[in-house]
Amino acid sequence: MLDIGFSKPALPKTGALAILIAEKEKLSGLAAQADKACGGAIGRALEAAKFTGRKGTSCTILAPGAGLSRMVAVGLGEAAKIDVRTAEDAGGHLGAALAAEAEAAIACDGSVKAHAASVAYGANLRSYRFDRYRTKEKPEDKPKLSALTVLTDDPAKAKAEYAPLAAVAKGVFLARDLCSEPPNVLNPYEFAARCEALESLGLDVEVVGPKEMKKLGFGALLGVAQGSENDPCMVVMRWNGAGKGDGGKGDGGKGKKGKKAKPICFIGKGVTFDTGGISLKPAANMEDMKWDMAGAGTVAGLMAALAGRRANVDAVGLLGLVENMPSGNAQRPGDVVTSASGQTIEVINTDAEGRLVLADVIHYAQKEFDPAFIVDLATLTGAIIIGLGHEHAGLFCNDDKLASQLEAAGKASGETVWRMPLGEEYDKLLKSDIADMKNVGGRPGGSITAACFIQRFIDKDRPWAHLDIAGTAWGAKDKPTVPKGAVGFGVRLLDRLVAAHFEGGKHDG
């Protein structure tokens, strides 16, 4: 992560200076000072480059003078439309543009002066890089920027606003790290060990092994894992933060009637490598299946973010961690397994394994914690990519209020979701001739029937949402605040959901 500091505006004597300019906005503040110190070179260069401040555009001026190594200008678009998202994206653009500099500063004045913390947040998010296995990288190919100074009129205020954002960024980076790790390193118990390390943040972490899961009746999850040499486990992470946030001014997690509110619950699919099992996947691109644990990675990152910023809420995160491998002991198509809920499942396709993992973990979560709601995340189906591409996660929900809250949080965070249907006609496609259900309903509506399968394990009247993040967990190209690779999708979305609706005993949306 970038080491970000905040200071009063002052023209740097060395290094790079970044400026943010809205459309039709003239150079002012520190940018105008820099232009004057450089003999007008900055203004002339921007004019020659036809830089107008259009949103998402940038202009780099090398060695403009006054000791500066470069000046980078990024456009903000229309001044009246500048908001937190605009500032974050602009910070991300600058984070990428300044990566080669040893020292750099961003002038947050003019139209963006109210969003200095968001600019810093965006720059930090974009700085992520997973390079721990590179041993022969040339120095010139490595980013040099490790510290960034944000220049603003009220540095104390900006620093205070940035502190919780920095905690969320750490959660995002954890999720990205977990997804980026090779599968020979990140097996279920290594994943669990990294979750246990988060106890330093104040999280309570419990690892449930296969013997205990067998006693709990986890026949669906254990069936997925039985072909692997690596044992499965379930990780239970608890943040008991009600009353701790806001300097301890919370109400102890009590609702309107003074009763302690139920915890909120997040569940992640964590298949640390998915071969498809006996229903073996094609060899091409199978290496991508190292991030079939992205849902669990998001939940781990979210719990770290909530603890890191001392969120005023009680939250539970559960991860079902397994490998899906082919072997002489692997689950077969045609097998029937009994889930922890007692419902039986005919396994038609062993590559539809994530829903089996979630079935048992969801049942456990409801029985043990009686949560106010459940949100599960999973890289569940290729069908959702066909339907939504890589821009939205699929949202399936049995509660209109929760669905609306998630949609709003998605727009606010930039991690957008699109609500998909559920219904009896889709659910009927799961009918089995020999068991309570099949684990697949055929190709048509594949992401919907997968969600219907999960819904069969949700208690009646329990608010629940399923996020199919198969299309959003990994990025093939850079975005303003997300370098290509592991996205950490869902950490920012769900943190925003919690902050907006469930902290301080709100629980009423």
Per-residue pLDDT tens listing for the chain (509 residues): 899 999 999 999 899 999 999 998 999 999 999 999 999 999 999 999 999 999 989 999 999 999 999 999 999 999 999 999 999 999 999 999 999 999 999 999 988 999 999 999 999 999 999 999 999 988 888 899 999 999 999 999 999 999 999 999 999 999 999 999 999 999 999 999 999 999 999 999 999 999 999 999 999 999 999 999 999 999 999 999 998 754 433 444 554 455 678 999 999 999 999 999 999 999 999 999 999 999 999 999 999 999 999 999 999 999 999 999 999 999 999 999 999 999 999 999 999 999 999 999 999 999 999 999 999 999 999 999 999 999 999 999 999 999 999 999 999 999 999 999 999 999 999 999 999 999 999 999 999 999 999 999 999 999 999 999 999 999 999 999 999 999 999 999 999 999 999 998 776 54
Q: Is 48 exposed, middle or buried (0-12, 13-18, 19+ CB in 10 A)?
A: exposed
pLDDT of residue 110: 86
d(CA 273, CA 506): 39
Tell me the C-alpha distance between 109 and 122, whole Å: 16
Q: Which ranges in the chain are annotated with CATH 3.40.220.10?
A: 3-151
- Cα–Cα dist 416/411, whole Å: 6
Domain(s) labelled CATH 3.40.630.10 in the chain stretch across 165-501
Phi-psi region at 170: left, alpha or beta (left = phi > 0; alpha = psi -120 to 50):
alpha
Residue type, 259: K
For CA atoms 432, 434, 436, 439, the dihedral sign is negative
**CATH class of the domain defined by 3-151:** alpha beta
Please give the CATH superfamily to which domain 165-501 belongs: Zn peptidases (3.40.630.10)
**Tokens standing for 40?**
């007008």
Looking at residue 250, what is its pLDDT? 42
Residue from 85, 113, 254, 281 carrying the catalytic annotation: 281
Widest pairwise Cα distance in the chain = 83
- Sorted by sequence, the CB contacts under 8 Å of residue 460 that are 6+ apart come out as none
Q: Fill in the DSSP letter of residue 193.
A: H
Answer yes or no: are the C-beta atoms of 264 and 498 closer than 8 Å: yes
Q: How far apart are CA 397 and CA 422, in angstroms?
A: 8
What pLDDT score does 508 carry?
54
> How much is the pLDDT for 174?
98
Contact call for residues 72 and 45 (beta carbons, < 8 A): no
Choose the catalytic residue: 238, 290, 355, 496. Answer: 355
Q: Is the pTM of this model over 0.75?
A: yes
Whether 281 sits among the annotated catalytic residues: the reply is: yes
What pLDDT does residue 461 have? 96
Q: Is 24 a catalytic residue?
A: no
- Measured CA to CA in angstroms, residue 173 lies from 284, 481, 488 at distances of 28, 12, 7
Identify the pLDDT of residue 438. Answer: 98
